[in-house]
Amino acid sequence: MAQNARSHKASKVVERMGKKLNRQMVGSLVGCVHCGMCAESCHYVLANPDDPTYAPAYKADQIRKIFKRNFDWTGKIFPWWVHAQDVRTDEDLEKLKDIVFGKCTNCRRCSLNCPMGVDFATINRMARGLLVSVGVMPEGVAVVSKDQWEVGNQMGVLPQDYLETIEWLSDELENEFKDTAARIPIDKMDADVVYAINPREVKYDPRTISDAARIFYLAGENWTMPSEGWDMTNFGLFSGDDELGGAVVQRVYEKVIELRGKRLVLSECGHGYRSTRCEGPNWSGTGVPPFVIESSVLTMLRYIKEGRIRVDKEKNRAAVTFHDSCNNARSCGFYEEPRELLNLLVTDFREMYPNRAENFCCTGGGGAMSMSEYTPQRLKSAIIKADQLKATGVKVVVTSCHNCVDGLTDVIRHYKLGMKVTQLVNLTANALVIPEKVVVPVEALISVVTLPLQGFKILVVDDEPDILTFLAAVLEDQGATVIQAADGEQALALTIQEKPDLVTLDLSMPGKNGGYVFEEIRNNPEIASTKVCIITGKPELRRLIYERPVAPPEGYLDKPVNEETLLTNIRMILELKRPHGHA
Amino acid sequence: MLNELRVNEKIIRLMVGFITDIQNMDGIVYYARPDLTLGAGFGTAISTQGGPKVQEELKKTGSANITDVVVTGGGNLQAKYILHAVGPRFQEEDSEEKLEATTLNVLRKAEEHKLQKIVFPAMGAGFYGIPLEVSARVTLGVAREFLEKAVEPKEVVFCLRDSRELKVFQENLQKMK
C-alpha cells in the first residue's frame, strides 16, 4: 500500500492536506486546463523562459498530483491517466520545499490572470503550511516564525528594546518640538488611534516611526502605541501556518480591545495590512473585531483632507514613481488611495507600467527576503522588476510596504539602478507645514544636534577605503573618536586594544571575514559586550550572522548606507539621548 | 478562571508574560533544539540578555537527544539556571509520550539542583507544533504528579505568551482541581 511506503513526515503531510481541502482549495486543484496564461504573468517565467519548472501550472502540478493520488477519485483509480503521484520520502518533501518556497513569492499575479479562477498562491501557501508542520522549511522561515511565535514579532525585538526605542524616539520628538506633549504614548487608554507597526521599523528604520509620530502630533491626534501586540506583520501569511496567523492577529486585536482603542491604524506594510485587516478575522476565529482597521495611508489622507495637517508638495520636488505592493493592490484592492495621497505630496508623479493590481512583485514578497538560499534565483528573476523600474526614468520609488522597500532596494542594488526607495509616511512628514505655535527656534535646533556622539569611541571596519573614509568622516563630524581597520585581523586586535563602544563591521572582507570577527568578539569575554553594527552590501550573508550561536548584533544596515540612516541607527544602538534632554 | 493550583505545600501557577523577564525564578525552562544552539525566539532573548556564557556552556555538551535536559547557568539573566529541554518537534512520532518524558526530566533536574521556583513556557506549542491542548494537559499533569511527591521545586510557573495560551492552560488546570 502507498500509505505504508511513506515516511512519517510524508504521511503527516498527506493527513493534514485532507484537513485543508475546502471548496476554494479544491476548485484551484482541479480547475487548471494548462492553458499557459499563468506563465505569461509570472516574473519568474518571464525571466527564465527556458525553464518550464517556473511555470505556475507546473508548480501547482507538484501539489496537485499529491491531491489527486490521495483525495480525488480519478487519481485513486487511474493515477497514470491524471498524473497523480504520491509523496513518499523526506527527499520528496525537500524537493517540494524548493518549489513552494524558492520558486514563487505568492504574489498572486498568476491567480489574477487565470481564466479558470485557479488561485495558485493559495494552494502554494497551503503546501508551505503542510511542510512547515513537519519542520521542512528554509532556515530563515524557521527563524522568523519562531521569533514571531515566542518573542511576539518577526524580528525578535525584545520587549525592553522596543520600549526603549520608543522612549528614545519620544525624547527626540519632544526636543524637536520643544513640547512635553510631543511624545509617543504607550498603552494610553481610550485612544482614538492605536498605531501598530512593522518590527523592521524598530530594528532598522526608526525614522518611519518618528515620521508617523510627527504627523499624529501635528494632527492633534489622541493616539497611542501598544506595549504588546504592536507587530501587525504576520509571517503566518508567508509560511502558510494558519495557527501562527491567528495567534498574531489575536494578540493585536486583544490589545486594542484592552486599551479601548477606537481605530487600529497599520503602518505601511502590505502583508501586515492583508493579514490584520483581511485574513485575520478568519485565522483567529474571533470574527471581525469591534473597531475600525485602516492603513496609515488613509489616516494621512484624511488628516490632509480635513485640514488637520498641512502639506507643501514643493518640499518633495524629485520625480517619483509608485510601486504597488502585491498584498495591498492585488489581494486587497488598495491602490487608488495611495495615489491620491501621493499626488498631494509630490510635484512630479509618474506611473510605473504595468501598475495597480497588474504590477510586478518587488521580488522580495512571500517571505523571500528571509530565504537566503534562494537569493540568486530571486535576483535573476528580478530583471523584470529592474526593467520596469528603469523604464520610469525616475530616481525615487515610493511604496506603501516595508517588505517592498527591502525587496526593491535589493533589486536596485543588484542591477545598479541608482534609485532610492521611500514610503508615503516619509514623504508626508517631509512635506509637513509646521504651524507657527510649534516652530522650533533655530538656536534650539543647533544646540540639539551639537556633537551628539561626543565621548564615544567607534571602530569602523571595511576593506573598501572609500567606505572607511565616509564612515569615519560622518561619525567624526558628530563628535565620535573613530578608529579604522581595513581587515578582520586588524579589527579584532583593535577591538581588544581600544575597547570601542561600537564596532561597525563589514561582512565580506579578505582574510578573516566579518562573520568570523563578529563571533570572535562575542566569544571573547573581555570584549563580548561590545556593540556591533553589521554594514554589508551582501544581505544574503545576514543569515550567517544571525545563525551563529552567539548573541546577535545590535544593529544591521545594508549598503549603500546614507548619512542619515547611519547616524539614526548608531545613535539608537548607543541608546543615546539627545544631549539637551527634556525641556 | 483558575490561575493557581495548590499541590500539598507546593503550587502550580499560570501567568502571561515574557519568560526571561520573570523575577525571582531559580530556573527557566527553554525548549531546546537537539544541537543545543540557542537559535531564535526565546533563544534570542537568552543569548541577548544572558550573554555568550550560556552558549559556551552548551558547546561543552555538544548535542542532546529528544527528552534530554541539559542544565546551564543563567549567564547575566536573573535566574540562576536554564534547563534546556529537548522536546519533540513537528508532529514527530510519539510526541505526547516524549513531551511527558521531557517535562518529567526537567522536574527531576530541578529537584537535583534544589531549585525552589522554576518557570516553563507552553512546552512545544507554537513553533514546534505540539497542539496547545496537548502541551497544557501533559505538562500540567506531569507537574502536578511530580509535586505531590517531590521536595523541590516548591513553585512551578507556566509563563504563557498570550491569552490564547492562558485560556487553554486555565481550562486544563480547572479540570485537575
DSSP A463: S
| Predicted pLDDT of residue A5 | 86
Using an 8 Å Cβ cutoff, are A388 and A357 in contact?
no
Distance, CA of A321 to CA of A349 (rounded, Å): 6
User: What residues in chain A have per-residue pLDDT under 70?
Assistant: 1-4, 437-450, 539-544, 546-547, 549, 576-583
| Predicted pLDDT of residue A437 | 65
Which B-chain residues 111-170 have CB contacts (< 8 A) with chain A? 121, 126-127, 129, 161-164
Q: Is the Cα dihedral A511, A512, A515, A516 positive or negative?
A: positive
Distance, CA of B27 to CA of B72 (rounded, Å): 10
DSSP A225: B
| Predicted pLDDT of residue A185 | 98
Residue with cell 502540478: A61
Residues A158, B129: C-beta atoms closer than 8 Å = no
Distance, CA of A565 to CA of A583 (rounded, Å): 26
Using an 8 Å Cβ cutoff, are B122 and B29 in contact?
no
| Predicted pLDDT of residue B177 | 87
Q: What interface predicted TM-score (ipTM) does this complex get? A: 0.98
Residues B40, A134: C-beta atoms closer than 8 Å = no
| Predicted pLDDT of residue A148 | 98
Q: What is the pLDDT of residues B127-139, one digit of tens each?
A: 999 999 999 999 9
| Predicted pLDDT of residue A449 | 47
Q: Kindly provide the b/e burial profile for residues A548-578, where b requires at least 16 CB atoms within 10 angstroms of the residue's own CB.
A: bbbbbbbbbbbeebeeebbbbbbbbbbebeb
Output the nine-digit C-alpha cell for A452: 551628539
| Predicted pLDDT of residue A543 | 63
Distance, CA of B14 to CA of B20 (rounded, Å): 15
Using an 8 Å Cβ cutoff, are A153 and B18 in contact?
no
Torsion of CA A175, A158, A211, A352, to 10 degrees: 160
Residues A158, B93: C-beta atoms closer than 8 Å = no
Q: Side chain identity at A513, as an amino acid letter? A: N
State the alpha helices, DSSP H only, in A347-464. Answer: 375-381, 383-392, 402-414, 424-431, 442-448
Q: What size, in residues, is chain B?
A: 177
What distance in Å separates residue B86's CA from the closest CA in chain A? 15
Distance, CA of A453 to CA of A475 (rounded, Å): 7
Closest of A206, A204, A196 to residue A295, by C-alpha: A196
By residue range, what is the domain housing residue B30?
4-176
Output the nine-digit C-alpha cell for A386: 529592474
Distance, CA of A318 to CA of A419 (rounded, Å): 12
Interface test with B, best of A15, A144, A146 (most B CBs within 10 A): A146
| Predicted pLDDT of residue A53 | 97
CATH number at residue B30: 3.40.220.10
- Enumerate domains of chain A plus CATH numbers: 2-137 (1.10.1060), 138-440 (no CATH), 446-573 (3.40.50.2300)
- From the number of C-beta atoms within 10 Å of its C-beta (0-12, 13-18, 19+), residue B114 rates as exposed
If one counts the domains in chain B, the total is 1
